[in-house]
Homo-oligomer: A and B are copies of this chain.
């Protein structure tokens, strides 16, 4: 089992996009600073979508500019299309992720594009990126949403996900990740699909798992991912977030609980839980009417808890 795990914090994007409250820009900046100060090395700080669609993320360019001032932080953003990618490149983001729904029904509802149209969009962004000097070229991930099932289509066959992952790589994505956008995944499915997708995209090009806790299996699915060597997990502080286009989907897995679990297992996340709880206070103060989740923040740390040291006691 791998010992170093990268947690990619998606709260400022996936979390904030799906709550009603619009977090003020200064609060976002303070929150992101606190998240990075806790030891999180990658944060998805926003999304370059039209402001009328997601007013919560209208300040993404300014947020990226702020995040870029934080040393050693990978600044990631979501881009739904070429237009968004242009804005992300202009802002200087280190990493761009384009959501690509394995379920074509979900793709049509989410971004109004078929798979073929989305692959064209991907190729167009890749052309844009390849025209940049190598040292200014952000990394480009295809984030395969509804990879484990879809609220419109139900089952999404693994064969289809594997084929689409290959097509995303062939279209020029540097990495492909798998998202359980609607909380349908189970641990057996995680193991199977991760192994198969990694086989076709290549081990170094697997961007990890983006899991939701809709049916309470989020951390169980992380354990299954760890079993097959996954080293990158997305999560959201306080589990805020979800997908406004996927009915029934609640929040991402909770960063605080994820860090606790991994560190308890003796895995290294680089994240200091005490500092993470400080960042949670900033979030709580900035969105006081929103529900915050998380078991460890509620129950507290076990007596005698030691980060990265407990493991198998």
Give residues in A with beta carbon < 8 Å to B.
149-158, 182-184, 186-189, 191-193, 213-217, 219-220, 222-224, 226-227, 248, 250, 254, 257, 260-261, 264-266, 294-296, 299-300, 302-304, 310-313
List 26 A-B residue pairs with CB atoms under 8 Å apart, sorted by A's residue number. Answer: A149-B313, A151-B302, A155-B313, A158-B312, A158-B313, A182-B302, A184-B302, A187-B223, A187-B261, A188-B264, A188-B266, A188-B311, A189-B264, A191-B312, A193-B312, A214-B295, A215-B302, A216-B294, A216-B296, A217-B219, A217-B260, A217-B261, A217-B264, A220-B220, A220-B261, A227-B227
Q: Which residues does chain B contribute within 8 Å of A261, judged by CB atoms?
A: 186-187, 216-217, 220
Contact across chains for A216 and B214 when beta carbons are under 8 A apart: no
B295, A213: Cβ atoms closer than 8 Å: yes
Do B186 and A264 touch (CB < 8 A)? Answer: yes
Are the CB atoms of B248 and A300 closer together than 8 Å? yes
The winner among A154, A191, A266 for most chain B CB atoms within 10 A is A154
Closest chain B residue to A312 by CB distance?
B192
- Cα distance, A250 to B220, chains bound together (Å): 19
Q: How far is the CB of A295 from chain B (nearest CB, A)?
A: 3
B265 touches A215 (CB 8 A): no
The distance from the CB of A34 to the nearest CB of chain B, in whole angstroms, is 22
CA distance in complex: A211, B7 (Å): 26
Q: Are B191 and A295 in contact (CB under 8 A)?
A: no
Assess whether A215 is in contact with B295, with CB atoms less than 8 Å apart. Answer: yes
Whole-angstrom distance from the CB of A68 to the nearest CB of chain B?
33
| B186 near A310: Cβ-Cβ < 8 Å | yes
CA A223 to CA B295, docked complex, whole Å: 18
Return chain B residues, CB-CB under 8 Å to A312: 158, 188-189, 191-193
Q: Which residues of B contact A193 (CB under 8 A)?
A: 312
Q: By the criterion CB–CB under 8 Å, are B265 and A302 in contact?
A: no
Please name all residues of chain B whose beta carbon is closer than 8 Å to the beta carbon of A310 when the two chains form the complex.
Answer: 155, 186, 189
Closest-by-CB residue of B relative to A267 is B188
Cross-chain contact B219 with A216 (CB below 8 angstroms): yes
Which B residues lie within 8 Å of A186 (CB)? 261, 264-265, 310-311
Q: Please name all residues of chain B whose beta carbon is closer than 8 Å to the beta carbon of A266 when the two chains form the complex.
A: 188
A136 to chain B, nearest CB (A): 41
Residue of B nearest to A264 (CB): B186
Question: Closest CB of chain B to A220's CB: distance in Å?
Answer: 4
A227 to chain B, nearest CB (A): 7
A306: nearest residue on chain B (CB-CB)? Answer: B155
Closest chain B CB from A50 CB (angstroms): 30
Question: In the complex, what residue of chain B is closest to A214 when comparing beta carbons?
Answer: B299
- Could you tell me the distance between the alpha carbons of A222 and B265 in the complex, rounded to whole angstroms? 14
Known contacts A187-B265, A215-B295, A295-B216; is-contact A303 B151 (Cβ 8 Å): yes
CB distance from A133 to the nearest CB of B (A): 43
Most chain B CB neighbours (cut-off 10 Å) among A153, A223, A248, A304: A223
Nearest CB in chain B: distance from A308 CB, A: 11
Instruction: State whether B157 touches A215 (Cβ < 8 A).
Output: no
